[in-house]
Structure 1
Amino acid sequence: MKLDSFRVAAAELPMARPFSHAGAKRQTTASVLVFAEASGHTGWGEGAPRSYVTAETVESAQAAIEALDLDLLDRVLAVPDFAGAITALRELDLEAALGGPVPMPAAAAAVELALFDLICSIHRKTGFEALQSQESFASILRSEAVASPVSFVVDLSSGVAAKTSALSPEAIASIRHVKVKVSADLDDCVQRVLQVREVFGPDATVVLDANGAWTPELAHAAVRRLAGLSIGWIEEPVGPRDWPTMRSLREASGIPIMLDESFASRSDLEAAAAHGAADLVNIRISKCGGLLRSLSLLRVAHGLGLRAQLGVHVGEIGPLWGAMRLLAGSYAGLATVEAGKHDQWFPEPLTEPAIAVDRDRYLLPAPADRSIGLGLRPSANLRRTLESSQETHREEREKVGTSR
């Protein structure tokens, strides 16, 4: 079997409200979508390039995917049995195949998810069955997918009161994990922690995410200010891969440190562990190069004694969310799960079925029992938007060509 069609599309869609942290502010999506077709079956994948995380842009990721040698993908599809095809996909080094002067994990994720979804469609298998088919993952997977409690995120676009005022009493009682985005303003940081504690009580796990905004000096001042406030951990307190400072923060404060921007590869995990610089890592499927590669990295992290959070990129459109839901329900041992806010960012659904989180109990549902692959299809609204965007880009290229 070979690919009949392989299409790449840039998707930059408006969000209903902004999301801000110390590293960036976003009010539009920025994803690369891949649609792969073979013998009447379709798979779709997504990558979320973020220049401040992996140095990728939508343009660079799209160009890399468009230049990919499709014979490599045809060889994966040519494997006749289901488990063998998933194994071939897992063993395919997509980042190397995509080339370029820097690694391209978001581009790799888009291609991997499209092939994963396509293989499942061809064999009429669920995504959970695909993961279970890999013996190397057996020790870290559940025997069946489950619903997952999700964290509540307070970003910098508004205050704590504004973020929590719409929550129902049931939601406030259900939320046991709160991530607070913080800036270099330590007074504001402490105040936000106190306000979160007032809303959610003393038993909720409260963690801070600085997105690398603190200098080493400010980070040490921060942990001194935070002493006694029962902080669960601090995510990415200083610049990427500043292992000595992260280790000194752990030793000085006893507050665990989580890696996010500092972690995208196995070598990052091993370096952090060797330096005693981290306790946890934030797995984001696009940042890590795909669903299967994320599971491989989770296995490595587990072996190094590092716990993991499953995170998302703001503005993910569909396939990445489907992969995150699958991984959240399948991997036994996550410290917490972030589910995003598609229902708040996009007034019209971008997928069929529509992405949904139980906002009363703050639960991420497990994939439906017989949902094939990633369990989502592009909605009519998304298809219209992509077609309109591609038509606009064609007209712009034609105008440029005429002017020359």
Structure 2
Amino acid sequence: MITEVRVAPVTLPMGRPFVHSGKARATTASVVVSIGATGYEGFGEGAPREYVTGESLAGAVEALRAFGPERLNRMVDVTDLDAALRALADLDLPAVVGGARPMPAAAAALELAVFDLVCKIHGVPGAEALRRVPWLAETLTERPEPVPVSYVLDMATEPAATVEQLDAEALRSIRHIKLKATKDVGDCVRRADYVREKFAPVATLSVDVNGDWDRATALRAAHALRPLGIAWLEEPVTPRDWSAMRATREEGGIPVMLDESCWGLDDLDMAAQLGAADLVNARVSKCGGIFPTLRLIRRARELGLNAQLGVHVGEVGPLWAAARLLSCSVGRLATVEAGKQDEWFPTPLTEPPYRVNRRKYLAHPLEGAGLGLVPSPALRDACHWTVADG
């Protein structure tokens, strides 16, 4: 049974800032959860982002302090593998944690820690644990496989400054490029044209706006970008402006991917009903954990939409490991993001350390039980724990 629950906010400087039109991030902002049972410890992480789900780091920590051992033991029997997995898969943790205002990032930290702990107690890799959940049978591949990952270009530098550093093998291997948009449509087209020329014809290209254009700008940009063969525009207008998204798709002629507009199934169903989307960016923290993310992907496919497995900037460990688990275990994704922890955190924050093959742009599955990693001494030193006793 669970004997201890600890919660810590983590803020660390990043080796370089990550910049898009809506925000520049130069430090982490994660909440980390440690759940202990005799001889075992599970770890989870959430990435509270007020501009995405309305959650603050302090608010997430405070909410999670209410989930002590007694309460968690009533929710999940960690001694029974299948019962624990069923309980996790069935719980609406964002609502359980947040009440009337769901808290997906806080819920993700809690769910990942419980999942990791349960798997470690029973000596089961995360991918095997997922395959024990019946409703995931059609979503998961037979076994985890290495997966191609996107090449993401933010606005911290000109595209040429980073693209020119790629060797020939990387240029041949990259299959999708995600370009962060600028407010200036002309500049955005110029940057996209450069990327298209450098990678054509083998790679697809998407443009991520982070909800920063209005309807008129999105339509103007779509008409200008369409000749470049843009695969999709991600969150091209203010979140949940469904009519503007539909206009971008239909009048602008470029598919639309939801991100900040879609936390869960209600958002997805609304967008599909109104003809406002073609794809959705599924991110573990934004969705509320592993199982809500898988549920969103499954629902997207039922609606005829595709899904990208995305990440939040500055994930310190359990979150990127959870995304790695899903990206290597879920087939037919539009594309997969893997983060740039090797650039952002020169000192490894996990054991084993974050790793992506940057010559072939492949991410390999992690080995071991649960999520497949533990915090490094550097991450443990950054965690200022408080004990959950609710």
Bin of the TM-score, shorter chain as denominator length: over 0.9
In structure 2, the partner of 1:60 is 59
* Residue identity opposite 2:176 in structure 1: H
* Residue identity opposite 1:25 in structure 2: A
In structure 2, the partner of 1:74 is 73
Q: Do 1:68 and 1:97's aligned partners in 2 also have CA atoms closer than 8 Å?
A: no
User: Is 1:148–2:130 an aligned residue pair?
Assistant: no
Which SS does the other structure have where 1:180 is aligned? strand
Seen in structure 2, the aligned counterparts of structure 1 residues 79 and 373 have a Cα distance that, compared at 3 Å, is: closer
User: Is 1:384–2:390 an aligned residue pair?
Assistant: no
* Residue identity opposite 2:170 in structure 1: A
TM-score, normalised relative to structure 1: 0.93
* Residue identity opposite 1:291 in structure 2: I
Question: Residue deviations 1:107-152, cap 9 Å, x none?
Answer: 0000000000000011111001110000100011100000000000
In structure 2, the partner of 1:181 is 180
Q: 1 CA distance for matches of 2:82 and 2:325?
A: 17
In structure 1, the partner of 2:278 is 279
Q: Which has the higher contact order (CA 8 A, sep 6+)?
A: 2
Seen in structure 2, the aligned counterparts of structure 1 residues 70 and 271 have a Cα distance that, compared at 3 Å, is: farther
The more displaced of 160-169 and 144-153 is 160-169
In structure 1, the partner of 2:315 is 316
In structure 1, the partner of 2:237 is 238
Q: 1 CA distance for matches of 2:199 and 2:223?
A: 23
User: Is 1:373–2:367 an aligned residue pair?
Assistant: no
Max radius of gyration: which structure?
A: 1
Once the two structures are TM-superposed, the CA of residue 305 in structure 1 deviates from its matched residue by 0.8
Q: Do 1:77 and 1:119's aligned partners in 2 also have CA atoms closer than 8 Å?
A: no
Question: Residue deviations 1:265-296, cap 9 Å, x none?
Answer: 10001000100110000000000000111111
Once the two structures are TM-superposed, the CA of residue 166 in structure 1 deviates from its matched residue by 1.8
In structure 2, the partner of 1:296 is 295
Q: 1 CA distance for matches of 2:100 and 2:92?
A: 16
Which SS does the other structure have where 1:178 is aligned? strand
Q: 2 CA distance for matches of 1:129 and 1:28?
A: 34
Which SS does the other structure have where 1:20 is aligned? strand
- Give the 5 Å matches for 1:174-253: 174-253=173-252
Which SS does the other structure have where 2:231 is aligned? strand
Q: Do 2:42 and 2:114's aligned partners in 1 also have CA atoms closer than 8 Å?
A: yes
Which SS does the other structure have where 1:44 is aligned? strand
Q: 1 CA distance for matches of 2:100 and 2:69?
A: 20
Seen in structure 2, the aligned counterparts of structure 1 residues 364 and 215 have a Cα distance that, compared at 3 Å, is: same
In structure 2, the partner of 1:89 is 88
Q: Give the paired residue count.
A: 386
TM-score, normalised relative to structure 2: 0.96
Structure having the larger proportion of residues in helix: 1
In structure 2, the partner of 1:395 is none
* Unmatched segments (≥5 aa) in structure 2: none
Question: Residue deviations 1:309-340, cap 9 Å, x none?
Answer: 00000000000011001000111110000000
* Unmatched segments (≥5 aa) in structure 1: 392-404
User: Is 1:364–2:379 an aligned residue pair?
Assistant: no
The more displaced of 9-18 and 293-302 is 293-302
- Give the 5 Å matches for 1:15-54: 15-54=14-53
Q: Do 2:177 and 2:204's aligned partners in 1 also have CA atoms closer than 8 Å?
A: yes
